Amino acid sequence: MFGRMRAMVLAAGYGTRLRPLTDELPKPLVPIGDRPMLGHVAAELARGGVARLVVNTHHLPEAFRADALADLGLPCELVHEPTILGTAGGVANAAALLGAGDVLVWGGDVLCRVDLAALHARHRATGAAATLLATPRAVGQGTLGLDAEGCVVRLRGERFGVELASADFTAVQILAEALRRELPCPGCLVGDGYLPRLRAGRRDVRAALLVEAFEDIGDPASYLAANQRWLARRGVGAWVAPAASVAPGVELWSAVVGAGAVLTGTGVVRDAVVWPGARARAPLERAIVLTSGRVVQVAPPP
């Protein structure tokens, strides 16, 4: 039963692509709409039947406060890495908390909607060591090449068979217990977990094209776009947290204003995110205002 499986969110990384946002918060805690990104992930895991969550930390671990975790709606256990261990090392280091059986591992900078029960059923039916959640691409494109049975035959430029379909890996995967026991610490899931099996001729690293929606929050532009999509899904042009203050002369268009934020001045705030506790002044356009007050301008899409 899927609900018995534990899930792990990889949250120890530095989030270098998302800087300067991650100079102030770890990437899973950057706010998207009304909650941190980790809150959206936890809601998806709970919807899929996951009962408990493990999160590893390294960068800015003090940000993972008890009050923030209490709002996740899912019991959460932290495992801190004084020295960062990589994706494989993070999973191996959390073995005692993850327990026996299959484990769902979720990258800390992605939002995804997927039928988790169907993903787990696919994993169990094929007997895979790892099942990578992926989105389809034209043949020859993307980060994964697949054969007719969904086995990975191309990864990181290396080929292991005839590629008949292609996909992008979402950084969401299910790992069997046998594979988890072999993971090095420190180490990388792809470089030290999947590639050695493929090089040895194993056919137990598979992909499942079951993604219903996917967002990679990789840089400030994609972060701003994720907040705009959050507004669109709610059918609103702007959102202001109940504990925020917006001056009467400020007009909001496609803007998110977090709890405790203070927005002063006069004029339009358009395509913007004001973080919880931040102080900002209108006008603003295509901007992210961090809690420190730093304004990050985001270039328009080409």
Q: Residues 34-73: pLDDT tens digits?
A: 999 999 999 999 999 898 899 999 999 999 987 778 788 8
> Is the predicted pLDDT of residue 200 greater than 50, yes or no?
yes
Residue 157: CB atoms within 10 A of its CB come to: 6
pLDDT value at position 165? 96
Which of 171, 192, 216 represents a domain boundary (last residue)?
216
Residue 302 lies in a domain: no
**Cis peptide bond N-terminal to 300, omega within 30:** no
Burial classification of residue 28, based on how many CB atoms lie within 10 Å of its CB (0-12 exposed, 13-18 middle, 19 or more buried): buried
pTM (two decimals): 0.93
Q: Decide which of 216, 235, 265 is a domain's last residue.
A: 216
- Domain edge (last residue) among 152, 185, 216: 216
- Is the same domain home to 198 and 231? no
Q: Are residues 266 and 117 in the same domain?
A: no
Per-residue pLDDT band at 1 (split at 50, 70, 90): very low
Name the residue with tokens 């959390």.
94
State the residue range of the domain holding 53.
2-216
Same domain flag for 157 and 254: no
On whether both 205 and 234 belong to a single domain, the answer is: no
What's the domain count of the chain? 2
**pLDDT at site 2:** 55
Q: What is the pLDDT of residues 229-274, one digit of tens each?
A: 999 999 999 999 999 999 999 999 999 999 999 999 999 999 999 9
